[in-house]
Structure 1
Amino acid sequence: MDEPSRDVLQDAGPADEAPGSRTLLWVFLLLLCFGAAVGMGWLVLREIEDLGTANSDNAQWSLAQTEVEFLQFQLAIERAGEEEVSLDTLRRRFDVFYSRIGTFASASTYSAVRSSPEFIAANEEITDFLDAAVPVIDSPDAQLAAALPALSAEAQALLPQVRALSLAGLASFAESSDERREDVRRTLAQMVGVLGLLLGGFALLTNSFRRLYRVSRRQAQAMERAGDRMRAIVEAAADAILVCDRDGAILDMNTAGVRLFGYSREEGIGRRALETIYPADVAPALQEATRAFFQEDGRAGTTALHYETEAVSRSGRRFPAEVSIARTADETDPIYVAFIRDISRRKEAEEGLTEARDKALAGERAKAEFLAVMSHEMRTPLNGLMGTMQLMRDHSLSQRQSELLDRMHSSGRLLLGLVNDVLDLAKFEAGKLKAERRPFSVSALLDGVVETTATLASSNGNSLRWRPLTPGLDIVRGDSRRLRQVLLNLVGNAVKFTRAGSIDIEVERLPGEGGLVEFRVADTGIGIAEAQLERIFQDFETLDSSYSRQAGGTGLGLGIARRLVGVMGGEIGVESEPGEGSLFWVRLSLPPAEAEETPLPGQGGNATLPVRPLDVLLVEDNEMNRFVARGLLESEGHKVTEAVDGRAGVEWAESHPFDVILMDISMPVMDGQTAARKIRAGSGRSATTPIIALTAHALPEEVERFREAGMAHCLSKPIDRKVLSGLLRGIAAGYSGGSVTMAEPASGLIDRAQLGELSQTIRPADLERLLATFRAEMDEGVTRLTASDLPPAELGALAHKCAGSCATLGLTALRQLLGRVETAAKRGEVSEGDLAQLPELWAESRQALDAWQGEQALTE
């Protein structure tokens, strides 16, 4: 802050908090004193005027003349007796004296004299004399002449009283004059005091005015400097600034406004802002929005209106603008200040960034799609190879053939693991990797991890074991599949870099809230340098060590493990020293599962259970699906009873005690969810039998409803023989957990592994008949789906039926497309784009199916 501003603040301190109020008080007091002085002066003038008038002198002269007139009356009596004067002259002298005495009694001039005791006493005697003398004076001349001696004697006796009357009156007048002079003196003294106060007040007022003048001058200078600074700021601003009145007329504009809009300041002032700076098609809406904002939402002086719009210059150039409008707090005559910025470059930059972002996202999507497609395409033949090797185990093999098959299967699993790693990486980059929360057994999961990696560990001369550090830690809720993948990566990494050592897996529940569980994988391998601890979790990162060239690897395992742990909301880390081994740890929130959420044995790992024949109720409306499912079940030694719809399934469940019920979801007459509820709500012989939902396609929210309907598990079509066998083994062992699981869909036009497994299950003649029926049904179904205008409900039912058949026979792409059609129909929509792709995709799928069938015929 500059010096003038500080001076202003100092002058406006506590001593001068309200100079204006004190000045007004001083002015009021001075005016009061001035009024008092004027009043006193007027009184003094009155007194002086009274003293200067002749009334008092005349009265005193009259009093002084009283004795003279009485003496003249007395002399007239004596001379009338000597006949020197006439009796009329005597009477005239008597009347003059009488009149004089009467004047004393009635004239207001003598009111003060009449209150004097001496005057009263003398006046009474004189009045008595006069009253007694009146008859004598008014008598005839003879009587008057005879009474003159007596009258003369009485007059002679009255002379002292007349003299006393005159002296008393003069004394009274003298005293009154003295008092009036004293009053005038006192008034003059008071007047002098008031005038002194007035002069002092004028001096103080003058000093106050001088102080106010200094303060106001400093404030004016500070305001002038602030105004200069503000003008400099406004003129230097890159944004156009317009000052408008309440009617929208421009009062002022800065240099930036002149440059932006092309009007000189003289041309711009007075013009309406809306008509000057906004296009005609934009101005009305802005005017209404601005008025509504300040009338309803905005408070003057405390808020501003911000928006982006389009402005126009004098030359007609339209450009995007950012506008901010504020209003002063004066409600009677408000001023509006608008800041307008040309954001053309910013918009161009945003468009450039958006385009760059879109290109980057497109590149990322292309990369993710490429990885996903390649991974799926690679996994499809791998699944075929793995399935074929699994089918080969059903035949009699020599020991050498079994060993070769084991090596092939191990290599296939390794290659499939790499493909799955790349696919998981693509899923993570696409944001489609999400954690699950299902009950599983920790012990079963770790048993499976040890069983899977035991062969590889022993081949390197390592011992592998796991042990719990927290007693009773077993059934928890979490994502067992991804946790298993993480632990397999960590154990596999430990096995690769350890020779003739030990690998220990430990699990411990940590204290505190959140249900944290820590898994530790410790090895006695070569260890890792501290500088490399962060690198090992990066993608495609391999360390140059004595074992690295022998172990090989893509360097994706730990990077994917880190991502999977992050998806599950946990932490992963490592502690290691070169030559001392490594310890990898994973901390996850795995709260204990509820009692009713016990999972099936084998879901957490690869544990096997003894198989016993089960009595299975198969509820399925699709004949083809029933045929295939029956073949799978009977090949495992189970007894199968078929029901063609939900109502028939309920009737069978009420009358017969089944071990397990396989329930399709979408069926005529009664759907699977309704049938499951009726079975659970009834008291039939299978009311408590585990129910497994079968569906070709289901939304996530629908899967939750399956569980609410009483279905313990959910299998997606096509039914995976291994998964189905695991579930049936668990049910045979007496487990009926509450988890609902969906198999991961395959990819490609056809799933050759599934078709190969199907060809091993069904006789060639039955398979050929099944495929012919399928082709006929699909020809009709695709024609109905694409050629007729079906309502969403019927469209969804038909798409579901066709998708179920495609799932059973491994037509993966067509099944997925039909699933999208079904999903849209369930939501009351019609997926026109997907329907348009059906004929072409069905033709391609049919051609691929025919090619596979031809290959099968040649091998036979």
Structure 2
Amino acid sequence: MASLWSNSHPTQPLILGLAAAVVVFGTAALSGGTLFLRGREALIAEVRSDLRRTAVVAAAAINVGWHRQLIDPAQEKEPLYQQAVAPLRNILRSTTSIRFIYTCILKDGHVYFVLDPTPQGDADGIEGEDHSFLMDRYDEANPVLRSVLAGGPAATDEEPVIDRWGTTISGYAPFHDDLGNAVGCVGVDIDLEQYEQRLGGMWSALWLGTLLALACSALVGVVVGRSAASLRQARLLADENAKVLKAERLVADRANRSKDEFLAVMTHEIRTPLNAVIGLADLLLAGGADDEQRRHLSTIRASGEHLLSMLNDILDHSKIDAGHMTLEELPFSPREALANVLSLMQESANAKGLRLELVVEGPVSDGVVGDPVRLRQVLLNLVSNAVKFTNAGGITISARATQVGGPITFSVVDTGVGMDEVTRARLFNPFTQGDSSISRRYGGTGLGLSISQRLVKLMGGVISVESAPGRGTAFAFTLPLRVTNRRTTSVPRSTTNYQVPVFHGRVLVVDDHAINRQVAVAMVKRLGLDVEEASGGRAALARLASGGIDLVLMDCQMPELDGVATTAEWRLNEGAGRHLPVVALSAAVSPADRERCRLAGMNGFLAKPIRLDLLADELSRFLRIKDTAAGPDVGARGGGAVVLDSQVVATLRSLDDDPAAFVQLVDSYLRDASNTIASIVFDGVAGRREGLAARAHAMKGAALTIGLTRLAKALDIFERIALTPDEQALASAATDLEQVFAEGSAALRAERDRG
């Protein structure tokens, strides 16, 4: 072959170069075209899937009884029509991509419009131009719409329609009566402008790729032509160039992906194994492990929690960067938030022999409005850093207010190693720590303080730091928290000393991921429940149709039919008087994700990775609890909780240096609670329900504050039973409540007398 090249015609290298250029260009063009076609197919599939889901959710909102009464065009001016069309009007206003939304019925072989929230008059002022009036006949109804009206499943048009309103595509979903008969359907027409823009972007990318391929092919041709004198070197160079081009193409493809999309996938994929690690460690810790096994399991769980914390730091930083971080506006108690942080960090401080103190100064309100979870995140970050960098002495967490209703200043002061001015200047930069050795010695991402600073800013405050080498560090920030009288929201509690309750019932676990199913099934069994599993939405619907299920744990992100669409379809076909509890399991935990689950008919929400105690709390809203030893059902006994939470007691004792203050607090609680509980029990046994649930609810908060966890659980169950007509269950719950209060009172008195 080498001799052939040495004696070849002088134009052969040029011919070979041109041939190589054509091959490279053709390959790139073919690959680009294939990617474009696949992208277009995926885009169309996404549009149809979203449209079908929107139609199903809209159909679930239709009041079938009202809809059936609308048979006369004159009724369009009546209140009944306005009430019936209101859900569609809300959907139309909240979803900008929807052009029209309406309902139709099939009568005597003809299709008629019923509901249409479109205003009666378009932008040109032509009366009724865009509005379909009640009982208008729709002679242009296509076969897809007629198929859905005849009882078929939800469907979409095969091709978009181009008219004076632009390019639209329609989706249809049926709604049924109590017997499962199709009564009518919802039609949704969406504007494809944004999808056409995305398609245009794909076209532009394809043309740009073609031009780049052309340039690359010309370059390859020149290189090959000039290298033809040495075949071996040319082949080696071609192989190397091919590898480089392939690597560059892969890097370019990754760089072109949306960062938000990447982070969403990363969240889901990392949380899946974490769900198994943390969940199975929880199950083993709740079992009969010996001391050495518990130490190993605690290490595994702590490592998983640390990895989850790092993941959350990265996601929070990205959300804040993108402007996607939203804060909650919830009532909460600053004192409770501080006490919770102290409780969570007490063990870490004790392990280093550090003193951890809580101080509240001035008129700090017990009820303010803000984001308790983000406040807790900032405080935990600051206290965690203080424990990390303090070897002797202690840490003080404080809240201070100078006037009622005024701003509250939170501070974390330690006696640790401190820092110099240079370190302080760069302290809040992302991915930055004091010096290069800190990450090796202490770990961490270097994101915590950056996130804390930006969260404080989002909450309307500014964080400051004072420090000197060897003299400790003081962080402080002031927040304008509005005072409220509304019932406060508790911040997440510690799971220390948590006792696993045992429930009655059968649960269906629905998840396409085998590891997630394994963890969820094991947790459900640990709670004493019978359990079945399904690997997808269709399988779940088939099993639910057979009955015998008391609650469903539904994963939200599944192929083909996801958890939201599965729940919406089940609610459409669920019989009258039946409402099966469905609890969402999701790695996506934004307010929008929670709202989407709620609108589909889900009753609860659990974020992955699932914690056994939070799963038990959620199930207790819907299922009856047995005793922790799996004995007979004890109703309102609240069997899963400890009688008296020692950490709450320790926190209450630390609030005042005078031991007499704790004694006075206990005596005051017992004096008030004894009379109130006795009154609740008396009325419960007598069946007098008026105001009973509200009184039990009020006592529940007081029980949690004083540390009587089992009593709070019993009051919660009693409150729910008081809202039902079951007289026997109410009397039994009242008797159990009396016994639980006696246990709690005795434990509280013993703690008081301990001094």
Please give the TM-score of this superposition, normalised by the length of structure 2. Answer: 0.37
- Give the greater-gyration-radius structure (CA): 1
Structure number with the higher helix fraction is 1
Bigger relative contact order, structure 1 or 2 (CA pairs below 8 A, ≥6 apart): 2
Please give the TM-score of this superposition, normalised by the length of structure 1. Answer: 0.33
